[in-house]
Amino acid sequence: MKRFITLAACAGAACALPATSRSGVVARSSSALSSRAANDSSFPSASGSSFIIDGKQQYYAGTNSYWLGFQTNNADVDLVMKNLATSGLKVLRVWGFNDVTSDPGSNTVYFQSFINGEAKINTGANGLERLDYVVKSAEEHGIKLIINFVNNWTDYGGMAAYFDFAGISSNAEWYTNEKAQTQYQAYIKAVVTRYSSSPAVFAWELANEPRCKGCDLSVLSDWVKTSAAYVKSLDSKHMVTTGEEGFGLDGDGSYPYQFAEGGDFNATCADPNVDFCVYHLYPDSWGTADNAQEWGNNWIKNHAKVCEALGKPCVLEEFGFNNNCDVELAWETTALATKGTGGDMFWQYGDTLSSGKSHQDGNTVYYQDDLWKCMVAPHVAAIGNQ
């Protein structure tokens, strides 16, 4: 579980637009970024336990940058993409959501608003046009993107942003509420159709860390089934994944292996419209920090067993342990060596932007700093030596 800075904090980190920018909310239609139709072979795909990108089948390493789509300086976006391409990291996960429940002003980036009982998707200059530039820059630099649609947490709105609009009061209700799900699908459609022809999209992701505490296991698995099928009905060429933490599977019986958060990793992973399976790794947040290295290695192996049995790749999509290189590099090494695993993505990428250093949340790894040289560069080299 990772938590993030708020919109207010983000405004001081180059997430606000210049005063001269237009808000362009909803009324202004915007065409998809890439008008060209890409051939099927140009889209990333899964094959057995690995992925094919640009015709090359192998294990891939990547990272996360939740904040990149909220930047308003195009040069900052290009800098990140250039540095990723130079480093050998291939896949970047970014937030495809940014929901507000009050007017943030024309100088602040947001993608969807829920105000006075009305839901509006912001396709303008301080809305999805910012995500447009991320996709455009990714295309130009050969980076592939995982883009998600909603947050389990309240950071950047999340499912809670839908509550008043839908007349509900909990995330558990959100998954089955018709009004919430209709708007969720409307937002999915707005994003997916905007980039459905872009080869820069690695995969669409249903949510960030979906949970349904105390729910019947069918709630999340049914929601995954419905949502993944809907995404595929809009775009059958790109992959789909869940964004889950990987809770609920056979293991040592510790909290993350239990089903208390409503997750059943086997069930969601097995869905025919889920192309690959993801899970996260945060022992310090889950009460499993004692002997974190060994515990994490087993967590990786147990998820890989599920994926291998299903014939799909697993991706260790987020991981961090207080910037401990020894532990995190060991996890990367285990993931690379474990059959059933097709990639890993550390949390999170950091860089020096026009406004200064990007947010440090305790797990940020800044480009070319000592931690980067200890855990990122050697891992990329090891992948290249396979």
> What's the helix, strand, coil split of the chain in %, to 5?
40, 20, 40
Pure H helices in the chain: 7-10, 74-87, 128-141, 163-166, 171-174, 178-195, 217-234, 265-270, 283-286, 292-310, 325-337, 370-371, 377-384
**Rounded CA gap, 269 and 285, in Å?**
23
Region for residue 157 given its phi and psi (left: phi exceeds 0; alpha: psi -120 to 50; beta: otherwise): left
Q: Torsions phi, psi of 67, nearest 5?
A: -90, -10
Q: Torsions phi, psi of 137, nearest 5?
A: -65, -35
In the chain, what's the furthest Cα-to-Cα distance? 56
Q: Which residues are catalytic?
A: 209, 318
**Rounded CA gap, 358 and 141, in Å?**
20
Contact 111, 23 (CB under 8 A): no
The 3-class SS string of 354-382 reads CCEECCCCCCCEECCCHHHHHHHHHHHHH
Tokens of 198: 């872009």
